[in-house]
Amino acid sequence: MSIRFFSDRNRPVHMGPYPLERLARRDGLPDLLGAPVMATLEFRRSERPESIVNAMGEFQAMMDAIRDGLVNPARAEVPADPQDRSDHLKAFGYFNDASMMGCGPLVTEALLSEPRRNADIDRLAEALKTRQTKTLASGIDVIMADLKDSIEAQPGPMDTHRNALVFLYEYHRDPDPSEPGSDWIMDAQAHRACLRATENAVVIANYIRLLGWDARAHTATTSDVDLNRLAVAAGLATLENGQLVVPWVGRRFGLAAVTTEMDLAYDRPLAPMSEQPWSATKGPSWWMGTHSAKNALNRDPFAKRRYMDGAHPFEKLKRVETPTTYIDEPNVPRVPKRADMFARAQFGDMGKALQDGAKGGHYVRKSAPSFAQRRALGAFVLLQDGDCASGPCPTDAERNAANLKAASYFLGVDAVGLSRCPEWTWYSHDATGEEIVPPHDQAVSMIIDQGYETMEGASGDDWISVAQSMRAYLRFSLLGGVIAQQIRNLGYKAKAHTVMDGEVLQPPLLLLSGLGEVSRIGEVILNPYLGPRLKSGAVTTDMPIAHDQPIDFGLQRFCESCNKCARECPSGAITAGPKRMFNGYEIWKSDSQKCATYRITTKGGAMCGRCMKTCPWNLEGLFAERPFRWAAMNLPATAPALARLDDAVGNGGLNDTKKWWWDIELAEDGAYRASPHPLNRRGLQTDLDLRHEDQTLAVYPAPLAPHPWPYPFPMDREAGIAAYESMVSAEEYQRRLAAGDD
């Protein structure tokens, strides 16, 4: 696990994880014609069919296809100061996990005489003609029409673009060919960096266009500009003997850019490396990380760890044969996909107000950052399933497991677990109402961290909340999608189950694969290193894989002694009472109806994740937090004191330094404007004494589930309240089971 001694709580997000502000800068640009012409990257390795690069190709082409688009004719109300805008866009880029961001002029030396276009875009368009009918996600016609237009469109002029935002993604350690799990990921650094930088640039270009300014993304495969020259002009790299060099990172990085007509303030060009202050780039403050999140000891999380093990010490966790909460596997009822609360809202089961709020994903569109993420998320739906190739079908389950984990971590997944995928984890019917016959029996579960820094600045239910979720969903759709494609390339079946089109219930798979334990939040599985601050996804397959075991890190005892999430939940959806049996699972069952209603209809923000924000396991990752984690895992008796201590030190409160987003909302004229509603921005409610006996909660177990078809099935809340009250403990459930009672 990476080492950080100092908190960066007083460092604004736009400054990034590296102490760029400590570098020496110069006036005037060097001769940019002396910069090496950017290399052309191809996502094809026909001589090495097992290379992960082959699986990335269609995803890169898909993002290249949507790098440009329509500009919102209704311009947003946002700060006019170019510095504010640059800071804001850089912070968005860091939120999306860029290593470094820079702003500079779109210099004429950077314009390519022959724009580059990814040849895979045309191949993808051909492939999609036959693949489009296989996906189930709603709104697929709109996605297809958008893609068709994007693929066929000729890029227009960029006459009005004067400015460039540059994204830099550093490489981590090169995989060692002798390390387990390295079979697929050798020689893929440039492609990984390109893919990740492209994801970021495509989202932010779309964001700027939604705000009403023209913008276009440029990548290592499709570009109108030379990224190397832009990186120098934006103050990210210096020219040394005809090569680009970046402080701390050297020559190991990938680039993408967004050019735009929006006015931006520029970063000054870097001084040569010989003039860079030793204290900033090599001195004790860099080693200790006194100025920034990155330091010499944590810069590369894989410097001393195998890729297959991940960045966190998962190998130290206590493994157990069965999850720490009871699952009555033979009797878990399967429910239709239609039972999902957001689906129920869309079909009008919960009334007109909710249906209006959910229609067309309004809760996503009303926030500009999340609507900007939505386009790529929709496009990836078309790639998450497909035919398998006549590949080599590797049969060594241990080796397959090592390769799957190493490739997932190499790409940027935060936690990976492997398990069986039993029938009871599949929905009974898909989104069209058709019965699902489980096609795969193995699962690769993945976790994407929602990011501590932005969560620190948020209340959990303000205007960034929905984008925090969508960012993680998008990341899984991309990386989980690549892994599913990789499996298919090797000859096995595989499907990535994303937020847009998933057919499995992820919480039980996370439990089986050892990625967390059941928490009081309810359906949220809590991971010991990431807390509840996560989104999950799963790839199901028939590839033989060795399994991980469930984990026990003492969370059941901890959540029994803490109800901070329940106290802080703005809708009162989380139980302050004990665990109960629900659909065959032992769980702190929350009132999903209340939660979904709040998330869809809240006016002072968009969506909610306040339970994740305020949980004591939502940690920054500092060395000083290790005693907390150790005591919470190893000394169950300390749980009540630790929960009180967390409140006493103010964890889960607001940190305005980390608030980088604008509180703007989609208005009736189509422009994003200052929201007219009072902002959801609240501190901790430490004086609230929430008692279970004062709560009225409803649940909808299988007997109350809707029919599987896409039309209304009104929700009966009284029946739901009665169902809540009739739930029993796991002990009572097992006693009745043994006695043969219902």
Residue 664 touching ligand SF4 (CB under 6 A): no
Q: Tell me how far CA of residue 234 lies from CA of 134, 186, 205, 611, 668, in angstroms.
A: 44, 31, 17, 39, 37
Contact between 383 and 377 under an 8 Å Cβ cutoff? The reply is no
> Around Cβ 131, how many Cβ atoms within 10 Å?
16
Q: Which stretch binds ligand SF4 (CB under 6 A): 123-131, 468-476, 505-513, 595-603?
A: 595-603
Residue 403 touching ligand SF4 (CB under 6 A): no
CB of 645 to ligand SF4, least distance (A): 12
Q: 225 phi and psi, to 5 degrees?
A: -130, 160
Handedness of CA 14, 17, 21, 23 (dihedral sign): negative
- Reading the block at residue 290, the tokens are 């006194």
Q: What would the x/- binding string for ligand SF4 be over residues 109 to 148, using CB under 6 A?
A: ----------------------------------------
Q: Which stretch binds ligand SF4 (CB under 6 A): 42-50, 172-180, 392-400, 591-599?
A: 591-599
Residue 610 touching ligand SF4 (CB under 6 A): yes
Residue 540 touching ligand SF4 (CB under 6 A): no
Residue 642 touching ligand SF4 (CB under 6 A): no
Round to the nearest angstrom and report the end-to-end CA distance of the chain: 48
CB of 465 to ligand SF4, least distance (A): 8
Angstrom distance (rounded) from CA 255 to CA 646: 40
Instruction: Categorise residue 360: left if φ over 0, alpha if ψ from -120 to 50, beta otherwise.
Output: left
Under DSSP, is residue 218 helix (H, G, I), strand (E, B) or coil? strand
Residue 497 touching ligand SF4 (CB under 6 A): no
Site for ligand SF4 in 12-51 (CB under 6 A): none
Angstrom distance (rounded) from CA 167 to CA 205: 12
What does the DSSP assignment read for 282-340?
TSHHHHHTSSSS--TTTS-TTSSS-GGGTTTTGGGSPB-SS-SS-B-GGGPPP--GGGS
Handedness of CA 470, 473, 475, 478 (dihedral sign): negative
CB of 223 to ligand SF4, least distance (A): 40
Contact between 551 and 517 under an 8 Å Cβ cutoff? The reply is yes
Residue 345 touching ligand SF4 (CB under 6 A): no
Residue 571 touching ligand SF4 (CB under 6 A): yes
Given 289, 348, 457, 616, the residue binding ligand SF4 (CB under 6 A): 616
Residue 93 touching ligand SF4 (CB under 6 A): no
Return the exposure string of 218-228: e unless at least 16 CB atoms fall within 10 Å of the residue's CB, then b: bbbbbbbbbbb
Given 563, 583, 593, 638, the residue binding ligand SF4 (CB under 6 A): 563
Q: Tell me how far CA of residue 425 lies from CA of 103, 459, 639, in angstroms.
A: 47, 33, 32
What does the DSSP assignment read for 223-252?
EEE-HHHHHHHTTS-EEETTEEEBTTTBT-
CB of 617 to ligand SF4, least distance (A): 6
Q: How many residues bind ligand SF4 (CB under 6 A)?
A: 28
CB of 251 to ligand SF4, least distance (A): 43
Angstrom distance (rounded) from CA 669 to CA 74: 7
Which residue, 371 or 558, has its beta carbon nearer to ligand SF4? 558
Given 574, 600, 606, 666, the residue binding ligand SF4 (CB under 6 A): 574
Residue 604 touching ligand SF4 (CB under 6 A): no
Site for ligand SF4 in 415-474 (CB under 6 A): 461
- Reading the block at residue 534, the tokens are 């996560």
Residue 638 touching ligand SF4 (CB under 6 A): no
Residue 598 touching ligand SF4 (CB under 6 A): yes
Residue 611 touching ligand SF4 (CB under 6 A): yes
Q: Which stretch binds ligand SF4 (CB under 6 A): 15-23, 94-102, 557-565, 623-631?
A: 557-565
Residue 595 touching ligand SF4 (CB under 6 A): yes
Q: What would the x/- binding string for ligand SF4 be over residues 723 to 742, using CB under 6 A?
A: --------------------
Placement of tokens 């990155």 in the chain: 294
Given 424, 427, 585, 617, the residue binding ligand SF4 (CB under 6 A): 617
Residue 323 touching ligand SF4 (CB under 6 A): no
Q: Tell me how far CA of residue 372 lies from CA of 91, 219, 245, in angstroms.
A: 15, 18, 32
CB of 570 to ligand SF4, least distance (A): 6
Q: 306 phi and psi, to 5 degrees?
A: -70, 145
Which residue, 67 or 533, has its beta carbon nearer to ligand SF4? 533
Residue 348 touching ligand SF4 (CB under 6 A): no
Residue 565 touching ligand SF4 (CB under 6 A): yes
Given 564, 579, 580, 589, the residue binding ligand SF4 (CB under 6 A): 564
CB of 569 to ligand SF4, least distance (A): 3
CB of 436 to ligand SF4, least distance (A): 27
Q: Which helix (H) or strand (E) holds 180?
A: none
CB of 597 to ligand SF4, least distance (A): 9
- Reading the block at residue 544, the tokens are 């033989």
Residue 559 touching ligand SF4 (CB under 6 A): yes
Residue 680 touching ligand SF4 (CB under 6 A): no
Burial class (CB in 10 A: 0-12, 13-18, 19+), 311: buried
- The amino acid that residue 224 corresponds to is D
User: Up-side HSE of residue 670: CA atoms within 13 Å toward CB?
Assistant: 8
Given 428, 519, 541, 638, the residue binding ligand SF4 (CB under 6 A): 519
> Which residues form the interface with ligand SF4 (CB under 6 A)?
461, 519-521, 526, 532, 558-559, 562-565, 569-571, 573-574, 590, 595, 598-599, 608-611, 615-617
